[in-house]
Chains A and B, each alone.
Chain A
Amino acid sequence: MNVLREMAYLVVGVPLLIAVVLGLGVRVWGRAAAWIALLGPLLAVAVGASSLEGGASGSVRWLAAGDSVLTLGYHVDGLSAIMLLVVGVVAACVIVFSIGYMHGDRGYVRYFAILSLFTAAMSGLVIAGDLVGLFIGWELVGACSFLLIGFWYEKPAAAEAARKAFMVTRVGDAAMLVGLAVLWRATGTLELSAILGSVGSLAPAVVTTAAVCLLLGAVGKSAQFPLHIWLPDAMEGPTPVSALIHAATMVAAGVFLVARTWPLFEASPEARMVALVLGTITALGAATIALQQTDIKKVLAYSTISQLGFMFAALGVGAWPVAIFHLVTHAAFKALLFLTSGSVIHGSGTQDLREMGGLRSKMPLTAVAWIIGGLALAGIPPLAGFFSKDEVVGSVLAAAPWAGVALLAASLLTGAYVARATRLAFFGPVRGTGEAHESPWTMTVPMAVLAVAAIGLGFAGPSIAAVLGAESEPLSLGLAALAVGLAGAGALGGWLLAAGGGAYENGFPPALTRVWGAARDGYGFDALVNGAIVRPMAALARFTDSVVDRQGIDRVAEGFAGLARGVGEMFARTMTGDGQTYSALLAAGAIILLCITMWLVR
């Protein structure tokens, strides 16, 4: 155990090695690839478990320029250990699940290679002892996300979604890099302990700038408004990928980043306010959109965005241990929901809720798992989501009542969309082809594991708080009752909404339908970005290509070539074959040489 704790860097090294081995032998490894890839997450779980009381650290000098030195190192503390456990458990479940889900896929080995790389990068991110290592991991998980969203790259939609994800998060990453630069300039180092220790001696403007920049990076990675548009499109990737990356781990990295650099945020009320505002808007807005979706994965995608908004709101009021607690429980039940939806997709052959129905009898295990996850998401006791969401809403309500009310509304909507999706998929008449079947054990066992976690993690709240070095607040019964009541009311509403089999034009006044319709398309935000940013950029690129490149630069290059050709032709004309021409040239040359000689010896 101690050995494992000391060599914490193995959580990065081993999966990285596995990724390389699998990647190089894409044609060689067959079904064994999954089991090999399983080693990485299991190692992460082991190291995480052994480091809960405090782990190892170490660093190495990387680049030096004059007096400034960049180090690369790891520093495992309670927060890192918790994250390692989350990443490890979810990744392990996802890998086992993928054995069944990705069975027979042409890119089977490539899939596990990239997953392994992701595990390495995410582990590196959470154990990083300096912002350099964190940023490296940050970028790498973004790259892996790109590779996995666009896993089925022959599909144009998938390739576009991958590009979109990468580019949108890039906006955030650019801001984050600016933040790193600010911190470097101000403190001369990028080591976390050094920076966080010297926060008190920095000018407030510097602290706020750095904090907001880092926050923007988190906003991009965690798909908060206004950088949220990539996550729904990211559902083009395989469902286990959505479970791991876009529900439990990568999107949580944003929350992790803020928690990791908390002293900066503690010293900057402006940054906290930004987080609070963005988080609240996101939480409420995404919940309304989720209610409108017909694709089961998109429901879960918007739900993820919304729940992350909850976490950001908690960060905004200063309750970062609460945010981490919700991150942990959310990882469990959201991953469970995604895997379950994967099972549904695998078993029934469709992603559209309107084509499902009555799956309860065909896929009983899946149905139970889904319902557990759904109850956790909605915040029904005694499941995990109840405890963590309650603490989040409680903290926010106490510090900023307006935000707290918004979050309560979001909770209501959460219950609504969960119930609606549940009824559409599992209950009611069979609307699809009716040929659904239950999934194999490789898929049901991970679901069971996560279901257990979703049930039990709620009671781990105090332990988590202790590991993080914070006190845990007791539950306020009044608030709890209010929250449950709202969730239940929402659920009822959602249940009724699903009565028409997904089409709710019936019984709704037209004005309402228009509003809901706008919600379905994300309130036109995508179109806005497309028109205001994407199209002008594309036009600029086209202009640069046709004018600057083709006519400008190519002309110059061709001009040089033409010049060479012209000079060559000019000289070729001297090769006439006429001896007298040669003699004339000879004589002329001799005259010139004579002149030069005479001039030199004058």
Chain B
Amino acid sequence: MSVTLLWWALAALTVAGAVAVIATREMMRMLLGLGAFLLGLAGFYAWYGFELLAVAELFVYVGGVLVLFLFAITSMGRDREGRSMERRLDLGALGISAGMGLVLLVALQSTLPAAPTAVGASVEDTAAALLGPLLPYFELAGVVLLVALVAALAIIGREDAR
């Protein structure tokens, strides 16, 4: 599908959110930016026809990770909310980031096809793939999640024990 106005709108949303994350001085604005970014990503997945992915993104990230951030901020105590964060302009980091982006662009430009194809995939087919050839990785992902859960509990638990 050709690049349409929708695509550009989604792009603008995503980029605006990303910039807000890195540039704003207020914590709430940063969270809003993160949210916009994640929403934009979900939109992109939908544009490509990956319905399952879009929905998963919304559930897991916007509804999970973003809320997690919010909980973390609020659990820090009252003086943390609305507190202004520093930002600074670091030319070295700027150079490195720009360089990374450019290198990736140039490197992948030759190995990847020119335009993405939004073929879309049905849920049934995805399920068949996940439980079929991708089964090991699927299971591993489950293990990773379990480990992360235990780790988070361990880190927090030690806190409560003190």
Contact = CB atoms under 8 A, between A and B. Distances in A.
B5 interface: no
B107 interface: yes
21 contacts: A584-B92, A584-B93, A584-B96, A587-B96, A587-B97, A587-B100, A588-B96, A588-B99, A590-B100, A591-B96, A591-B99, A591-B100, A591-B103, A594-B103, A594-B104, A594-B107, A595-B103, A597-B107, A598-B103, A598-B106, A598-B107
Interface string A563-602: 0000000000000000000001001101100110110000
Contacts of B103: 591, 594-595, 598
A591 B101 CA distance: 9
A256 B14 CA distance: 108
A597 B104 CA distance: 12
Interface in B86-106: 92-93, 96-97, 99-100, 103-104, 106
Contacts of B100: 587, 590-591
Interface residues of B, number: 10
Interface residues of A, number: 9
A584 B93 CA distance: 7
Nearest to A594: B103
A590 B101 CA distance: 12
Contacts of A587: 96-97, 100
A165 to B, nearest CB: 73
Contacts of B106: 598
Interface of A: 584, 587-588, 590-591, 594-595, 597-598
A597 B103 CA distance: 11
Interface in B46-103: 92-93, 96-97, 99-100, 103
Contacts of B93: 584
* 10 closest residue pairs by CB, A with B: A594-B103, A591-B99, A587-B96, A591-B103, A598-B107, A588-B96, A591-B100, A584-B96, A587-B100, A594-B107
Contacts of A595: 103
A598 B106 CA distance: 9
Q: Which residue, of A588, A591, A598, has the highest number of chain B Cβ atoms within 10 A?
A: A591
Interface string B98-133: 011001101100000000000000000000000000
A257 to B, nearest CB: 81
B119 to A, nearest CB: 29
A16 to B, nearest CB: 76
Contacts of A590: 100
Given A590-B100, A598-B106, 16 more contacts: A584-B92, A584-B93, A584-B96, A587-B96, A587-B97, A587-B100, A588-B96, A588-B99, A591-B96, A591-B99, A591-B103, A594-B103, A594-B104, A597-B107, A598-B103, A598-B107
